[in-house]
Homo-oligomer: A and B are copies of this chain.
Amino acid sequence: MIFTVTILGSNAAVPVLDKYPSAQIINIDHKYYLIDCGEGTQFQMLKYGIPKDKINQIFISHLHGDHVFGLIGLITSYHLAGRNKKLEIFAPSGIEEIIKVQLRSTGKEELCYQIVYHIVDTEVHQLVFEDKLVCVYSIPLIHRVPTSGYLFKEKQRAPKINKAIVEDFKLTPEQIKDLKNYKSIIAANGERLLPEFVIVHKYTPVSYAYCSDTAFNPAICEFIKGIDLLYHEATFLTVDNDQAIKSMHSTAKDAATIALQSNVKGLIIGHFSARYRDHDLLLQEAEAIFQNTSIADEGNVYHLDA
């Protein structure tokens, strides 16, 4: 069972050598979900071995270029590769026009696959996507343009049954199903089997939230309370808090304060302004408030399944 977060980029808008703008990959049991898609995301996928064909859902936080300019390239590459699976894009209003104008101008008005655009209401916290593995919720953020964070809540996974017991007691498929649904059964030999006796591993679902870009906004704490891992932008140091307020971004202290107040287990910070050469200063500022903090460097893989 796998639940990982891979950082493809977390740079702020001004380009920096060897840094890439925002993009992250969630891998849940080899199903891949992309969050944000800054310029160069498809090249970063190649670099870090992400099988881009396994992505069927893309979640865009907002329409600033460093979060979305790589999307048209990815969409075009899917077409060139002959994709036939539907692609779902979740984003604030306006995304469809951006993509369609470019497809028309580049002679690719008719793609060989379907894109379904889901407009995300950036004012509310609600379910925006669900499949067998995960529920994804919007998180209303405060930024200069409509912006949504995303909360990935893994679903409870079916428990595993001890195979030796299945054989010893000659359990039928129906009996196995009952046990997985936490019902006790009577085996062929008349013995009563309790679920807790045959279930090897009761899995604890994990949860991850992506909050970028946003001004300091404690209102989000209720949505991300107790989650396993939070990515929160930390564009500035507190010494530049006036810039953070003006541009509706957060400081490293803000990010750590959100993590602390939400009682999350771990915090990743990124989206640092190009003015900072020494990222340790941002890390130290966050760690002073929330110890379990790390920096979202390109290629980092966070295992929530550990």
B14 contacts A106, C-beta separation under 8 Å:
no
B17 contacts A47, C-beta separation under 8 Å:
yes
Interface membership of A43, Cβ < 8 A: yes
Number of identical protomers: 2
Q: Name the residue of chain B whose CB is nearest to the CB of A144.
A: B107
A1-39 CB mask vs B (1 if < 8 Å, else 0) is 000000000000111111010000000000000000001
Number of interface residues of A (CB under 8 A): 37
Given contacts A47-B17, A81-B14, A101-B97, contact A73 B39 (CB under 8 A): yes
A107 contacts B145, C-beta separation under 8 Å:
yes
A105: contacting residue among B13, B17, B42, B63, CB under 8 A: B63
A71-98 CB mask vs B (1 if < 8 Å, else 0) is 0110011001100000000000011011
A100-130 CB mask vs B (1 if < 8 Å, else 0) is 0110011110000000000000000000000
| Docked complex Cα distance between A16 and B47 (Å) | 9
Residues of B within 8 A of A94 (CB): 105
Residue with the highest number of chain B CB atoms closer than 10 Å, among A43, A46, A72, A94: A43
Given contacts A16-B46, A39-B39, A47-B17, contact A72 B65 (CB under 8 A): yes
| Docked complex Cα distance between A106 and B99 (Å) | 13
In angstroms, how far is the closest chain B Cβ from the Cβ of A100? Answer: 9
Interface membership of A69, Cβ < 8 A: yes
| Docked complex Cα distance between A80 and B70 (Å) | 18
| Docked complex Cα distance between A2 and B69 (Å) | 34
Interface membership of A68, Cβ < 8 A: yes
Residue with the highest number of chain B CB atoms closer than 10 Å, among A40, A47, A94, A108: A40
Considering only residues 144-170 of chain A, those with a C-beta below 8 Å from chain B are 144-145
B102 contacts A98, C-beta separation under 8 Å:
yes
Residues of B within 8 A of A39 (CB): 39-40, 42-43, 69-70, 73
Interface membership of A64, Cβ < 8 A: yes
In angstroms, how far is the closest chain B Cβ from the Cβ of A102? Answer: 6
In angstroms, how far is the closest chain B Cβ from the Cβ of A52? Answer: 9
| Docked complex Cα distance between A107 and B63 (Å) | 8
A77 contacts B145, C-beta separation under 8 Å:
no
| Docked complex Cα distance between A169 and B80 (Å) | 69
| Docked complex Cα distance between A101 and B39 (Å) | 17
Q: Name the residue of chain B whose CB is nearest to the CB of A143.
A: B107
Residues of B within 8 A of A64 (CB): 106-107
Given contacts A40-B40, A46-B15, A98-B101, contact A106 B76 (CB under 8 A): no
Given contacts A20-B43, A101-B98, contact A68 B106 (CB under 8 A): yes
A14 contacts B77, C-beta separation under 8 Å:
yes
